[in-house]
Chains A and B, each alone.
Chain A
Amino acid sequence: MTNVNCDQLIDYLNGTLNEQEQKQFEAHLAECPECREIVDATGELPYLADPVEPNTGMKSRILDAVFDEEEHPASLAEERTKRDSPAPPATMAKRGFRTSKWTPLVAAALLVSLLGNAYAFYELSDQPDAPAAPEVAFETVDLQASEAFEGTGTAALVHEEGALNLLVQANQLEPTSGDQVYQVWLLKDGQPIPTGAFTPSQENEGAVFFSLDENTEGWDTIAVTLEPNRGNTMPQGEIVLSAAIDPEA
């Protein structure tokens, strides 16, 4: 397949597209397997070079410079440092949160209900004389499937009255075997905590609702792994679905 967008591939690789063209081409790339495969092939080109041992001390010089940039953000426009600066170490959420397994149908109804509430709230707050906003915030994210995984999923996070409610739904899941479960994790600075597990239905759908009463803030990533068994406190299996979430939400 060749069209106008495919023709921009070399400009893209050469880094000579302007910002808007770059975005357009990246959208094209997501849709065009051929362009993506060509890009992937370029990832192998370095192996045409002879292997060279790194310079002595190179790793620490480079990593120091990289992390130093963060402390002295100088020129680059993109400012992401605020978000992450000295986050407290991620403590594992204590026991005592509620977890329960929902059938996909119930979960779907619940999701609609939660979103409905949040939507009603936003509608309400548009009124000029709306009452003080209740402490409700929600975020939904589409989970990205890892390579070679066919499933899809959505997560909804709802902060309400000091609790964080998390609903994850997934479809087109591969069936599990033996003790395997799909395990949901929330991650903060790379530290995961388990937030519910499920096994797919006969329709290959699954869902889980989970509620945290404490340590509800600052989660930056949600992931689903296929675990060999239930109850792991650290992931052992492959990640199948994941997405970044807004720690501020």
Chain B
Amino acid sequence: MEKISDALLYERVRGKDKDALEELYDRYEKMLFSYLCKMTGDRDLAEEALQEVFVKVWRGVGSYDESKGKFVAWLVTMSRNAAVDLIRKQKKPSVPLDEIAEVESTDSSVEETAEWQEKSEQIHQAVRHLSEEQQKMVHLFYFKGYTHETIAEKCGIPLGTVKSRIRLALKKLKTSLQMVQEGGVLDDKREL
């Protein structure tokens, strides 16, 4: 049988199918945990955030359907917001804003690592097409755990401007990611 879609698994979760939830968990555990670790800089906090995400999925909070885009994107948004809340509650300083790091190999399976590497290369390549300012916006919003209000405060930019800059950055990211995914290797210098 072909791999069942996330959306259908989610439908089953809505019908309280525990196996379906476990399958979704297995699909995204490592991806989300890695992301949450980078964002919080703390394994325990990352686990707590991940737990909140799956509790919400199980309870049907903010329910998903395909009109909201890809399931994984919906999960990432929930994860980000769960981590932002936890960071805020704990007043825990988030990790310093790193340069984009190269992927280190881990002891996971070759297949898993290969998939990660492919995805990772694509998104890294796409991000390189953003201006420095746009990269900064994406990192503050997605990896530093800042809300747009915080970014506005810290950078001394009006909130409306921050929002439109983040939107523009994500829009450009979308375009360059599509080009990378469709066209294979993209010339880094090519203007979008």
B43 at the interface (CB under 8 A from A): yes
Q: Which of B1, B31, B103 makes the CB contact (< 8 A) with A234?
A: B1
- The answer to whether B25 and A62 have CB atoms under 8 Å apart is yes
List the A side residues contacting B54 at CB < 8 Å. 62-63, 66
Most chain A C-beta atoms within 10 Å of own C-beta, residue among B2, B61, B100, B106? B2
Please classify the interface of chain B as helix (H, G, I), strand (E, B), loop, or mixed, using the class held by over half of its residues: helix
Which A62-102 residues have a C-beta within 8 angstroms of B?
62-63, 65-67, 69-70, 76, 78, 80-81, 83-85, 87
List the A side residues contacting B14 at CB < 8 Å. 80, 220, 244
- The answer to whether B1 and A78 have CB atoms under 8 Å apart is no
- The answer to whether B1 and A236 have CB atoms under 8 Å apart is yes
Nearest CB of chain A from residue B81's CB, rounded to whole Å: 4
- The answer to whether B123 and A51 have CB atoms under 8 Å apart is no
Complex Cα gap A6–B43 (Å) = 35
- The answer to whether B15 and A7 have CB atoms under 8 Å apart is no
Complex Cα gap A220–B69 (Å) = 23
Nearest CB of chain A from residue B151's CB, rounded to whole Å: 10
- The answer to whether B2 and A238 have CB atoms under 8 Å apart is yes
> How many chain-B residues does the 8 Å CB contact rule pick out?
89
Known: A34-B171, A37-B174, A83-B16. A46 touches B73 (CB 8 A): no
- Which of the 9-residue segments A53-61, A106-114, A121-129, A203-211 touches chain B? A53-61
A120 at the interface (CB under 8 A from B): no
> How many chain-A residues does the 8 Å CB contact rule pick out?
71
A49 at the interface (CB under 8 A from B): yes
A132 at the interface (CB under 8 A from B): no
- The answer to whether A51 and B51 have CB atoms under 8 Å apart is no
Nearest CB of chain B from residue A233's CB, rounded to whole Å: 12
Complex Cα gap A52–B8 (Å) = 28
Nearest CB of chain B from residue A152's CB, rounded to whole Å: 13
A237 at the interface (CB under 8 A from B): yes
- The answer to whether A10 and B73 have CB atoms under 8 Å apart is no
Nearest CB of chain B from residue A24's CB, rounded to whole Å: 13
A147 at the interface (CB under 8 A from B): yes
B65 at the interface (CB under 8 A from A): yes
Report A1-30 CB contacts with B as 1/0, cut-off 8 Å: 000001101110111100000100010011
Q: Which of A36, A58, A78, A221 makes the CB contact (< 8 A) with B33?
A: A58
Q: Which of B8, B67, B108, B163 makes the CB contact (< 8 A) with A10?
A: B163
- The answer to whether B167 and A48 have CB atoms under 8 Å apart is no
Q: Which of B47, B70, B173 makes the CB contact (< 8 A) with A61?
A: B47
List the A side residues contacting B178 at CB < 8 Å. 37, 41
- The answer to whether B173 and A41 have CB atoms under 8 Å apart is yes
Interface residues of chain A, those whose CB is within 8 Å of chain B, are 6-7, 9-11, 13-16, 22, 26, 29-30, 34, 36-55, 58-59, 61-63, 65-67, 69-70, 76, 78, 80-81, 83-85, 87, 144, 146-147, 187-190, 220-221, 223, 234-239, 242, 244, 247
